[in-house]
């Protein structure tokens, strides 16, 4: 414990010194730690990680620390890339049951696909800080479908303690195509498919007519944010249209394959129906979200080269579209060659900062005869590099590769173990505060002594 405290203290000293010299704040080296690269490989002991100017310079055994880079002794610690949490509501909600504080879905909105989470995200929401303290440094923020099958456009954020959270606005579009999509579409999957196909056709022709340029996909290969494709064109549409002009414009980059389409779907047959849709719309850049029965059609998903974001531990037939649910879903899909990120939170207890628990259970599963889990390296990749790749940020976050963002987490033990937690968190090489409402409450109520004055004076 003394070593941990010393490490924390030294890190704080580093960042304190940096207040006067901001550029240096983005330089840090950690030596002697057990390092997990995030790329699926197994952890490396007694390794070093170097971050300069906010980017990873080197990571591994035998790495030398350049002169002038502050060094932290990480012996006894683990160092990993920051976690990438997919499908979060970070910054969209303070208290989910307090509707005024909840911007996750817009049930009564006249818009669907045009909805954009980017301007609604509040990086000061407590859940940002709470997730950061759990080692989450990047996340996708995902709207839920409310009034139509389209949920709108999600964004990729970093969890640095500043207002500059949205790094990739309009990174993907969300569409509901399972049981929920059927209800939103008017009562049947038939209507959901008709609505989706019609919308994509409208967007295709609308884009041509309006001569819209699109952008904003995080998959664009650079960090430049493209022109917002919703910029209204001046072309009047005629005839039989269902989408508002704004919604149609929002779908232009989807139908062109320039913006990812996150398809929420669970049932094996629904997955195949979505994969088949690419015959009609070959450019679609789909991600399957949910895919509880994905293992049943894992070969087809792999052949289609469509990635998946799945909840790791679903094992109950919660609905008729999840009858084949098993905790082996992720492992079986990975074995079939599918890229699978772990993400999604089924109960109030599932939280982005509990992603290591989901991943750790995948490792435990390998010891159950007949079950298929993940190796440690695969499991950690499923909450770091793989979700980053799925988001279109492969090689840039979620991995300790040269040139990647300097998002580091220093843990007090194996990060997948229940007993471990982050000690230090860096975003782009900058050490982050780990305090939040919850830690302040903890500190206030360490003692219940009110003999001198009420606890309210302890802050």
Binders in 82-121 for other proteins, by CB under 8 A:
94-98
Residue 22 in the binding site for other proteins (CB under 8 A) = no
313 lies in the binding site for other proteins (CB under 8 A): yes
Under the binding rule (CB under 8 A), the answer on residue 228 touching other proteins is: no
Judged by CB under 8 A, which stretch of 12-20, 52-60, 155-163, 319-327 contacts other proteins? 319-327
- Please name the helix (run of DSSP H) or strand (run of DSSP E) that holds residue 154, with its range, or none: strand 150-158
Looking at beta carbons only, is 7 or 200 nearer to other proteins?
A: 7
The yes or no reply on residue 293 touching other proteins (CB under 8 A) is yes
DSSP secondary structure string, 42-90?
A: PPEEEEEEEEETTEEEEEETTPPPPTT--EEE-TT-EEEEPEEEEEE-T
List binders of other proteins among 184-203 (CB under 8 A): none
Closest CB 404 distance from other proteins, rounded Å:
27
3-state secondary structure of 359: helix
10 Å CB burial of residue 295 (0-12, 13-18, 19+) is: buried
Cβ proximity to other proteins: between 259 and 292 the closer is 292
Cβ closest to other proteins, residue 126 vs residue 300: 126
Closer residue to other proteins in complex, CB, 48/326? 326
Burial class of residue 451 (count of CB atoms within 10 Å of its CB; 0-12, 13-18, 19+):
exposed
Tell me: does residue 349 bind other proteins (CB under 8 A). Answer: yes
Contact (Cβ atoms closer than 8 angstroms) between residue 365 and residue 327: yes
Beta strand 55-60 pairing with 44-52: antiparallel
Which residues does residue 342 pair with via DSSP β-bridges, in sequence order?
A: 310
Stretch that binds other proteins, among 203-211, 247-255, 279-287, 438-446 (CB under 8 A): 438-446
Residue 315 contacts other proteins per CB under 8 A: yes
Residue 24 dihedral angles phi and psi, to the nearest 5°: -65, -25
Q: Which stretch binds other proteins (CB under 8 A): 122-130, 157-165, 183-191, 255-263?
A: 122-130
DSSP class per residue in 168-237? EEEEEEEEE-SHHHHHHTTSSHHHHHHHHHHHHHHHHHHHHHHT------GGGSSSPPPPPTTSPPSPPP
* 346 sits near other proteins (criterion: CB under 8 A): yes
b/e string for 395-420 if b means 16 or more Cβ within 10 A?
ebbbbbbeebbbbbbbbbebbbeeeb
- Give whichever of 197 and 455 is closer to other proteins, judged by the CB atom: 455
Residue linked to tokens 């060094």: 71
Contacts to other proteins from residues 261-290, by CB under 8 A: 268
Q: Which stretch binds other proteins (CB under 8 A): 34-42, 80-88, 208-216, 347-355?
A: 347-355
The answer to whether 21 contacts other proteins (rule: CB under 8 A) is no
At 271, which helix (H) or strand (E)? helix 268-280
Stretch that binds other proteins, among 34-42, 74-82, 254-262, 307-315 (CB under 8 A): 307-315
Tell me, by CB under 8 A, how many residues bind other proteins.
60
Contact call for residues 216 and 169 (beta carbons, < 8 A) = yes
Stretch that binds other proteins, among 41-49, 124-132, 158-166, 257-265 (CB under 8 A): 124-132
36: left (phi over 0), alpha (psi -120 to 50) or beta: beta
- CA–CA gap between residue 106 and residue 145 (Å, rounded): 7
At residue 187, φ and ψ (nearest 5 deg) are 120, 0
| Contact between 325 and other proteins per CB under 8 A | yes
Say how far apart CA 134 and CA 355 lie, in whole Å.
9
- Minimum gap (Å) between residue 348 Cβ and other proteins: 4
2 lies in the binding site for other proteins (CB under 8 A) = no
DSSP 8-state class, residue 309? E
Q: Please give the residues from 26 up to 85 whose contact with other proteins meets the rule CB under 8 A.
A: none
Residue from the set 53, 242, 368, 435 that interacts with other proteins by CB under 8 A: 368
Nearer to other proteins, 165 or 363 (CB): 363
For residue 104, the 8-state DSSP code is: S
Q: Does 324 bind other proteins (CB under 8 A)?
A: yes
Nearest approach in angstroms of CB 374 to other proteins is 12
Q: Which segment (64-72, 161-169, 249-257, 417-425) binds other proteins by CB under 8 A?
A: 417-425
Question: Does 328 contact other proteins by CB under 8 A?
Answer: yes
- Taking CB under 8 A as the binding criterion, the range among 79-87, 150-158, 181-189, 434-442 that sits at the site for other proteins is 434-442
Q: How many CB atoms lie within 10 A of CB 126?
A: 14
Instruction: Report yes or no: 47 and 34 within 8 Å, Cβ to Cβ.
Output: yes
Could you give phi then psi for residue 342, rounded to 5 degrees? -85, 125
Nearer to other proteins, 21 or 97 (CB): 97
448 makes contact with other proteins (CB under 8 A): yes
- Per CB under 8 A, residues contacting other proteins are 94-98, 126-127, 130, 268, 293, 296, 313-320, 322-328, 346-351, 354, 357, 360-361, 363-365, 367-371, 412, 416-421, 437-439, 441-442, 445-446, 448, 455
């Amino acid at each position: 414990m003394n070593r941990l405290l010393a490490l924390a203290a030294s890190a704080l000293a580093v960042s304190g010194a940096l207040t006067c010299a901001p550029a240096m704040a983005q330089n840090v080296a950690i030596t002697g730690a057990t390092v997990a690269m995030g790329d699926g490989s197994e952890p490396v002991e007694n390794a070093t990680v170097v971050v300069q100017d906010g980017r990873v310079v080197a990571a591994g055994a035998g790495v030398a620390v350049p002169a002038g880079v502050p060094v932290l002794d990480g012996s006894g610690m683990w160092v990993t890339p920051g976690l990438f949490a997919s499908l979060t509501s970070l910054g969209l909600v303070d208290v989910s049951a307090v509707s005024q504080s909840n911007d996750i879905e817009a049930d009564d909105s006249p818009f669907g696909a045009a909805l954009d989470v980017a301007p609604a995200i509040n990086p000061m929401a407590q859940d940002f800080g709470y997730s950061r303290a759990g080692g989450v440094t990047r996340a996708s923020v995902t709207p839920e479908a409310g009034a139509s099958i389209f949920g709108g456009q999600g964004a990729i954020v970093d969890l640095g303690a500043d207002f500059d959270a949205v790094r990739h606005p309009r990174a993907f579009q969300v569409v509901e195509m399972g049981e929920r999509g059927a209800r939103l579409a008017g009562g049947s999957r038939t209507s959901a498919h008709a609505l989706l196909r019609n919308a994509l056709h409208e967007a295709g022709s609308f884009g041509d007519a309006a001569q819209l340029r699109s952008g904003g996909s995080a998959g664009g290969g650079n960090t430049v944010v493209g022109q917002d494709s919703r910029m209204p064109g001046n072309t009047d549409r005629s005839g039989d249209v269902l989408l508002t002009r704004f919604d149609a414009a929002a779908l232009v980059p989807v139908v062109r394959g320039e913006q990812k389409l996150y398809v929420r779907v669970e049932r094996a047959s629904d997955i195949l129906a979505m994969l088949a849709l690419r015959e009609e719309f070959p450019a679609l850049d789909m991600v399957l979200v949910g895919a509880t029965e994905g293992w049943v059609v894992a070969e087809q998903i792999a052949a289609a080269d469509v990635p998946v974001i799945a909840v790791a531990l679903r094992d109950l037939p919660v609905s008729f579209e999840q009858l084949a649910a098993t905790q082996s879903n992720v492992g079986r899909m990975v074995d079939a060659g599918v890229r699978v990120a772990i993400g999604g939170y089924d109960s109030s207890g599932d939280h982005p900062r509990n992603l290591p628990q989901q991943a750790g259970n995948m490792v435990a599963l390998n010891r159950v005869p007949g079950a298929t889990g993940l190796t440690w390296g695969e499991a950690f990749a499923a909450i770091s590099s793989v979700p980053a790749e799925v988001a279109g940020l492969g090689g840039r976050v979620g991995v300790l590769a040269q040139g990647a963002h300097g998002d580091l987490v220093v843990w007090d033990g194996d990060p997948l173990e229940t007993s471990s937690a982050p000690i230090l968190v860096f975003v782009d090489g900058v050490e982050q505060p780990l305090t939040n409402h919850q830690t302040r409450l903890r500190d206030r109520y360490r003692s219940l002594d009110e003999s001198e004055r009420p606890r309210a004076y302890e802050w």
